Structure formats: C-alpha cells, structure tokens
Amino acid sequence: QAPIRQRGVVSGLVGLAQVVGVVLGVALVSYVIVDLRFGTWLIGGAMLVLVLPVLFFVDDARLPKSAVNAFSWSAFFRDFWVSPRAHPDFAWAWITRFLVWLGTAMATIYLLFYLEDFLEYPEPAQGQTVLIGLYGLGTILTAVIGGRLSDKSGKRKIYVIVASVVMGLSVLILAFIPTFTAAMIGAFLLGTGYGVYLAVDQALITQVLPKAEDRARDLGVINIANTMPQILAPVIAAPLVTSFGGYPSLFLATAAVMVVAGFLVRYIKSVP
C-alpha cells in the first residue's frame, strides 16, 4: 500500500514495532511478571488485543474473482517454488535475508548461557535483559532514520551491505573481548545495524517481487527465510559451542555469515 519512495520509512516503522515488542515482552516477564505462566497468558492476550485494529480498520486490497484460481493442494504446494532462473533478484534477496536472520539467531540464541557460562556474569537473566534492551535501543534509533535516508537517496543495496557488515563486526566484539561492558557495546552496535537492515531490506524485497497478483504468496516465501533460521540456528550453534571452540567460534561463524550476506546483496540487479 505504500509508494516505493516511502517504503524505507514504512518498513522502518514496522521493524521498530517488532523490536519494541520484544523489549517490552522481555521486560514484562523479567521484571514485572515473575510467574512465567501468567506472563505468557498476558503477552498472548496483548497480542490478541493489538491485532484487532489491523483486522477491522486496515482497508486491504482485494483481488478480483477472475484473478483467483480454484484451490487445489497440488497447486498450493507447487506455488512455494519461485524459479531462481526466472527471478534471480528474488532468489538473491531470499538468500541474503536467510543468512542475516540465521546470523541474528546464532548471535542471540545462547546469549543467556554466554553470560552465565563464559562471562560468569552474576545475574545472567537480568544481564540478558540489559543486552536485549541495548540491542532494541540501537534498532529503535536507526530503523526509521535508515529507511528515510534510503528513501531520500533512492538506493537500497548499499544500506543493506553496510548494515550486514556492522552486524558482523559487532559480533566479533563478543568473540574477542569477553567482558560484560564489551557485550553491551556489541549488543548496541548489533542493534544499530539491524535497525537499518530491517527498514531497507524489507523495502528492497518489495521491489523484487515477481508478480503483483502473487505478492502475498511471495512475501510468504520470503517469510520462510525469516523462520527457518530459528530452527537451524540451534543445530549449527550447539556443536560450535560444545565441540569446536566454544562461544568465540560461534560468534566468529556468526560474523562470517552476516558479512557473506552483505556481499551477496551485490548480485541483485534490478534495485539500486
């Protein structure tokens, strides 16, 4: 619904809301609601209430009936495949999104245990909340600004590349400087890069969708690149931590994944 010249800002606002939600949720169950079971019900109820305005007040576009094919399970599953040969920019956008989200998941999934086992921080749960808060603050400060700068310049790729590199470098701080102060700096820098990435990459993706009538399907395929890393990250991170060098190896691998993602953005041709 947003014109291309405003998609950076709009995507930044969407990303801002996501991060604020994470920070508020963690703060609620860490400081306000000590009973985890009640906290889960509280957050679930809040989600139900907050989604109601979207259901009732957003005037979503509708496809004409002539554009909607009869439903079949074979076509449903077949539509998950978007040919990389026919739509290479979409494929590169999917791969880079997958790698960045994989890196983000790897960087954060064992954060509590990193504080507890590696740094031996006395209050790991509260330390995790502090780091997530700084991460969220960095994202909040840069999401809308990064989106606006991208909209003003008309460029997307350079912002995604820089954001990916910043995220990769920030994780190296955790690998080589094992102090809580350094972890705070790394978490904040990770958030600043992630804020720009959230805003600009989402705008970039909307500009490489293959066909207008398949936007919902194609965004769903992109969403697989967001969710699949949450499953794969523990599978990759666990052996790195337990058998291949511990947390420094985990964060080195994370940095490599993010920098590679930034490099691959260069292969997207249709977006400046």
Summarised one tens digit per residue, pLDDT across range 226-257 is: 999 999 999 999 999 999 999 999 999 999 99
Q: In which band, very low, low, confident or very high, does the pLDDT at 132 lie, cut at 50, 70 and 90?
A: confident
What's the token pair of residue 243? 């058998």
What is the rounded CA–CA span in Å between residue 115 and residue 138?
A: 20
Range 60-77 burial, b when 16+ CB lie within 10 A, else e: eeeeeeeeeeeeeeeeee
What is the rounded CA–CA span in Å between residue 141 and residue 195?
A: 7
Give how far the C-alpha of residue 180 lies from the chain's centroid of Cα atoms, to the nearest Å: 24
Residue type, 68: V
Q: In which band, very low, low, confident or very high, does the pLDDT at 51 lie, cut at 50, 70 and 90?
A: very high
What is the rounded CA–CA span in Å between residue 249 and residue 175?
A: 7
Average pLDDT over residues 133-159: 94
If phi over 0 gives left and psi between -120 and 50 gives alpha, with beta otherwise, what is residue 245? left
**Residue 59 CB-density burial (10 A; 0-12 exposed, 13-18 middle, 19+ buried):** exposed
Question: pTM for the full model?
Answer: 0.88
Beta carbons of 134 and 118 less than 8 angstroms apart: no
What is the rounded CA–CA span in Å between residue 106 and residue 257?
A: 10
Q: Give the tens place of pLDDT for each residue, 201-212.
A: 999 999 999 988
What's the token pair of residue 54? 């979207």
